[in-house]
Amino acid sequence: MTDVDKATQAQLNNIQGKTGKSFDQLAAIARRSGLTKHGEMRAFLQRELGLSYGDANTLVHAVLRSDGTRQAAGKGEGQLLDGMYSGPKAALRPIHDKLMQEIGKWGEFERAPKKNYFSLRRKQQFAMIGPATNTRVEVGLNVTGLKKSPRLLEQPKGSMCNYVVRLTEAGEVDRELFTWIKAAFDSSG
């Protein structure tokens, strides 16, 4: 079992502890909702069970067996990147490459590929990088207490990341951005 699989299982165990329900009971609640779209089911579980965004998201992935880790299984990092940054998104690949080149210098971390982004983890996830649209890469950061900046978009409590930075060209990958990513890296492990 990979570290990511262990972390997911730990999160599912915590969800069961918080709700007092087994995974099978939680899955039955999700299925009885009649909802089939991921986002709708996640919102339902947040409302019905009082789960955070992250917990509800993980639970939906487990119930639907739709997490990006499973979808990325058996594919190499280059193949996944080629798929993420293909067609109209191909012009965004230099942003991703520039980010990973610098982050790779800081020390050991795990690159956990998902369907549409890469999760970067030490003891916990510190960043997510991937194309959000055909014209924009988003860097999600899991860190608190960063100095406010118009580029640094604070996310609602319970979101997958505390902050998001939107990038449309490689020139926006700069010292300020790396300062924020490094703070997240350092706090994660």
* DSSP conformation letters of 7-19: HHHHHHHHHHHHH
Tell me 87's DSSP state.
Answer: G
In total, the chain counts a number of residues equal to: 189
pTM of the model: 0.66
What is the identity of the amino acid at 143? V
Mind spelling out the 3-state secondary structure of 32-82? HCCCCCHHHHHHHHHHHHCCCHHHHHHHHHHHHCCCHHHHHCCCCHHHHHH
> pLDDT tens per residue, the chain (189 residues)?
555 567 778 888 889 999 999 988 998 898 898 888 878 888 999 999 999 888 888 888 788 776 555 554 555 666 778 888 999 999 999 999 999 999 999 999 888 877 788 889 898 889 999 999 999 999 999 999 999 999 999 998 878 899 999 999 999 999 999 999 999 999 998
